[in-house]
Amino acid sequence: MPAPILDFDALARAISGRTVLCIGDIMLDEFVYGEVSRISPEAPAPVISAQRSEIHVGGAGNVARNVAALGARCIFVGLVGEDDSGRRLASALAQHAGIDSVLVCDPSRPTTRKVRFVSEHFSTHMLRADWEQALPASDAIETKLIEAILPLIARADIVLLSDYAKGVLTARVIRHTIDAARKLGKPVIVDPKSLNWAIYRGATLLTPNRKEFSEATRSRADTTQSIVDASEDVMRLADCEAILVTLGEDGMTLVPRGGEAVHVPAFPVKVRDVSGAGDTVAAALAVSLAAGADWDTALRMANAAAAVAVGKQGTASVSAAELRRKILPHAYLAAEEKIVLEPDTLDAQLVEWRKQGLRVGFTNGCFDILHPGHVKVLTAARAACDRLIVGLNSDASVRRLKGADRPVQDERARAEVLAALEAVDLVVIFEEDTPIELITRITPGVLVKGGDYTREQVVGHEIVEAAGGTVVLVDILQGFSTTALVHRARGGGK
């Protein structure tokens, strides 16, 4: 079965027509940025000279912001107090065109507010002050929340529960929401806070971080296998379809019920601020699954979204354009460095990439006259892996395959054109009629060809699959053919 590819543009179009119902604990996040200048004489603590401040919609409200930023609509249900912070949150949410908010007001409690003091130069959090009442909502407020939530479920494609343990997601609210969603066939994602996962029974996906997972399962969660082993029992307990464990700089591990676990390494990024990264992950998962993505695609979307979020200051949202740039990043090497002339160079690069835990993909062809059909295959191939190697038939190989009047461009020219493409990380010229020797040498994790081939026709599929890799077939773009273009250019007509 061919592995799915991440066609980001098609997925983004599907996301734009989806609605996420997000329920959870909203909070006002304030960030005060300044320079640490000295140590306070009154106490052994640094003095920060405030220079600027920012206000963000935080907690579950940040999940809603990310859902909207990624192109979907969000219906948000939360709880605020009858105070200035609650009014500021309501006003901020009203300014987001993609968010419809239903804020239940509880006059007996303050709106959750968090103020962080951050060193501007070092991007280091020096202090956080919280104003909150982290108690379950009263019976009356609980009833108001349930009455607000239930009619909204039918309008959503997916339900997301963002639990910060501030009082919104009581056991009763959770139970009513999940049961109603299941009756309507709506998937439910839970970003859990309670260690008793039985209260989330019936959810589709749980997304704990490593600490939450370890405490809930009483496991070390220090390897993929230990996460898989611990997940089996809790998935039965929670009657969920999958668990995604976020591991910070170690990436993410997804364990589907009855399927193979998938681990993705974190993107190599400079971390500026991890505030709200979990919100971004939950939002990316929700919009992807709502749009019909499979587990693997949703996982890769969430991983890329987290990498964008931690590179920003404050409680950040991630746009679809930023996510696209991360998923289809700029080429790893400069064009002149991408053409491999020595086998040792290829081997050294493969060792380095695999040391980083990167998934290497491979495709091949003559690429005599590059056209939009080629570009589509190469872009899709790059979307299916972390680094893409293109095998290029040599001039002698092309002549044997295409005839004495081909190639139109020599191998160096063809290699340079391919190397200039953002989607291509390495170009390797091979002399044989097929790339079987090159595929054996590389043993890629992903082998990509156009959809005019069947899996059995793809050269090297046995080698790749025997090593645990996958074959990806990309639908070809109709109306483009190098042979037809050459014929036309030589005066042969259409």
Cα–Cα distance, 54 to 234 (Å, whole number): 40
Instruction: Supply the pLDDT for residue 77.
Output: 98
Interstrand relation of 158-162 and 339-340 (parallel, antiparallel or unpaired): unpaired
Angle at 196 between CA 191 and CA 198, to 5 degrees: 85
Contact 296, 4 (CB under 8 A): yes
Please state, for a pLDDT cut of 70, what percent of the chain lies above it.
Answer: 92
Find the mean pLDDT for residues 120-148.
Answer: 89
Q: How far apart are CA 227 and CA 221, in angstroms?
A: 5
Least-confidence region, from 67-76, 157-166, 303-312: 303-312
User: Do 334-491 and 8-328 fall under one CATH topology?
Assistant: no
Identify the pLDDT of residue 230. 92
Which pLDDT value is given to residue 93? 94
Is 209 annotated in some ligand binding site?
yes
Contact 284, 66 (CB under 8 A): yes
- Residue numbers annotated as active site: 279
Tens digit of each residue's pLDDT (9 = 90 or more) over 175-195: 999 999 999 999 999 999 998
Distances (CA, A) of 387 to 144, 378, 381, 425: 51, 11, 9, 6
Four-point Cα dihedral 409, 412, 417, 419, nearest 10? 160
Question: What is the arithmetic mean of pLDDT over 383-399?
Answer: 92
- For position 2, what pLDDT does the model report? 39
- pLDDT confidence tier of residue 3, bands split at 50, 70 and 90: very low
- For residue 38, the model assigns a pLDDT of 80
Residue 31's contacts (CB-CB under 8 Å, 6 or more residues apart) are 53, 54, 55, 56, 115, 116, 118, 313, 314, 315
Q: How confident is the model at residue 1 (pLDDT cuts 50, 70, 90)?
A: very low
Q: Average pLDDT, stretch 444-472?
A: 90
Distance (Å, rounded) from C-alpha 152 to C-alpha 97? Answer: 18
Mean pLDDT in the chain?
88
- CB-based contact 379:324 (threshold 8 Å): no
Q: What is the mean pLDDT of residues 196-220?
A: 94
Phi/psi class of residue 165: alpha, beta or left (left: φ > 0; alpha: ψ in -120 to 50)? Answer: left
**pLDDT exceeds cutoff 70 at 314:** no
The whole-angstrom separation of Cα 236 and Cα 253 is: 18
Given CATH 3.40.50.620, say whether it is the number of domain 334-491. Answer: yes
Cross-strand pairs, 427? 339, 390
285 vs 148, 275, 306, CA distance in Å? 24, 18, 11
pLDDT of residue 54: 85
CATH of 8-328, one of 3.40.50.300, 3.40.50.2300, 3.40.1190.20, 3.40.50.1820: 3.40.1190.20
Q: Would the annotation count 342 as a binding residue? A: no
Walk across the sheet containing 113-119 and list its strands: 46-59, 26-39, 113-119, 124-131
Q: Euclidean distance between the first and final Cα of the chain, in Å?
A: 37
Q: Break the chain into its structural domains and give their ranges.
A: 8-328, 334-491
Beta bridge partners of 245: 253
Q: Of the given ranges (74-88, 97-111, 255-269), which has the lowest mean pLDDT?
A: 255-269
pLDDT of residue 478: 59
Written as six digits, the tokens of 133 are: 């009442």
Q: Is the pLDDT of residue 331 over 60?
A: no
**How much is the pLDDT for 477?**
57
The model's pTM is 0.71
Read off the pLDDT of each residue in 423-451 and give the average, rounded to a whole number. Answer: 93
Q: Is 220 annotated as a binding residue?
A: no
pLDDT at 49: 82
Q: Are the CB atoms for 15 and 287 separated by under 8 Å?
A: yes
74 — pLDDT class (breaks 50, 70, 90): very high
- Give CA–CA dist 317/324, Å, rounded: 14
353 with 386: CB under 8 angstroms? yes
**Which pLDDT score, from 0 to 100, does residue 62 have?**
94
Identity (one letter) of the amino acid at 423? A
210 is in an annotated binding site: yes
pLDDT class for 485, splitting at 50, 70, 90? Answer: low
Which two three-digit tokens encode residue 363?
Answer: 């495709």
* CA–CA distance, 239 with 335 (Å, rounded to integer): 50
In this prediction, residue 46 carries a pLDDT of 79
Q: What are the two backbone dihedrals, phi and then psi, of residue 74, each rounded to the nearest 5 degrees?
A: -130, 130
Mean pLDDT of 204-227: 92
Q: What is the average pLDDT across 121-148?
A: 90
Q: Would the pLDDT of 52 be above 50? A: yes
